Amino acid sequence: MIHPLAGAALTALMLSACSVLPQAAPPLTQHDLGGGFAPVVDAPLPLRAVEVTATPLAAGLAMQYREAARPTTRASYAFNRWAAPPAQLVAQAFARLLPLTPAATCRLDLQLDDVLLEIDADGRGEAVLNGRLRLSRNTEVLRAQLVAQRVPLPRVAPADYALAQREAVLRLAREAAQWSVATPACAAAS
């Protein structure tokens, strides 16, 4: 038989232990670029293919950010991730945004160098999408250039970051479409 004081002490000890147990982690939230993409041009582009790749910095599922106070350090949201690697998400969006011409001879390649949320010293954020566009026909590179899209966020939060990256991808698709149409070697070959 347990002494009444020992029972009360044991009960108090068990109740206090419950308050120091770690809380369960919040569920993991996966973000993508959303749906409902419509072509950015009315007619098919003089492109037969579009390929999107990524450097190792932009290849994972982590939603990365950089704060002005630590300009050389990348951090990742603990409970938010991309639903697929950014290159795959951009390729899926480009497939809907950039209508292709199967008989065309030109190809568009995008290498993502950076997919990041930058937070300035005042706590404002911008989605950053940097990369390299290359337009080629067969093995000849017709055009190549660095591209950079920066989209301000209404507030610094993972969901707003995903929406801003969606806008950056839309802007980049419009730029790529104009670029391919304005390249005589592609437009003439289609």
Let me know if residue 167 belongs to a domain: yes
pLDDT value for 147: 96
User: What span, in angstroms and rounded, lies between the C-alpha atoms of 79 and 62?
Assistant: 10
Examine the pLDDT at 79 and tell me if it is beyond 90.
yes
Q: What is the mean pLDDT of residues 34-59?
A: 94
Residues across the chain: 190
- What CATH code is carried by the domain that includes residue 179? 3.40.50.10610
CA–CA dist 25, 9 (Å, integer): 30
Position 130 in a domain: yes
> Does the structure show a pLDDT above 60 at 183?
yes
Please check whether residue 18 lies inside any domain of the structure.
no
The torsion of the CA quartet 140, 115, 62, 110, rounded to 10 degrees, works out to -20
Domain, as residue range, for 177: 31-189
Question: Residue 156 corresponds to which tokens in the numbers above?
Answer: 């610094």
How sure is the predictor about 17, in pLDDT bands with cuts at 50, 70 and 90?
Answer: low
pTM, two decimal places: 0.85
Number of domains the chain is built from: 1
Q: Is residue 99 part of a domain?
A: yes
Residue 9 lies in a domain: no
Given a contact cutoff of 8 angstroms between Cβ atoms, the answer to whether 107 and 113 are in contact is: no
Pairwise CA distance, residues 81 & 161, whole Å: 11
pLDDT at 22: 73
Q: Count CB atoms within 10 A of the CB of residue 166.
A: 20
Answer yes or no: is 24 within a domain.
no
Residue 173 has pLDDT above 60, yes or no: yes
Q: How many Å apart are CA 87 and CA 172, to the nearest integer?
A: 13
pLDDT above 80 for 100: yes
Q: What is the pLDDT of residue 184?
A: 87
Rg, Å, the chain Cα set: 24
At residue 177, does pLDDT exceed 90?
yes
**Which pLDDT value is given to residue 39?**
96
3-state secondary structure of 2: coil
Mean pLDDT for the chain? 90
Report if residue 20 sits inside a domain.
Answer: no
pLDDT at 149: 97
Residue 28 pLDDT grade (very low, low, confident, very high; cuts 50, 70, 90): very high
On whether residue 80 sits in a domain, the answer given is: yes
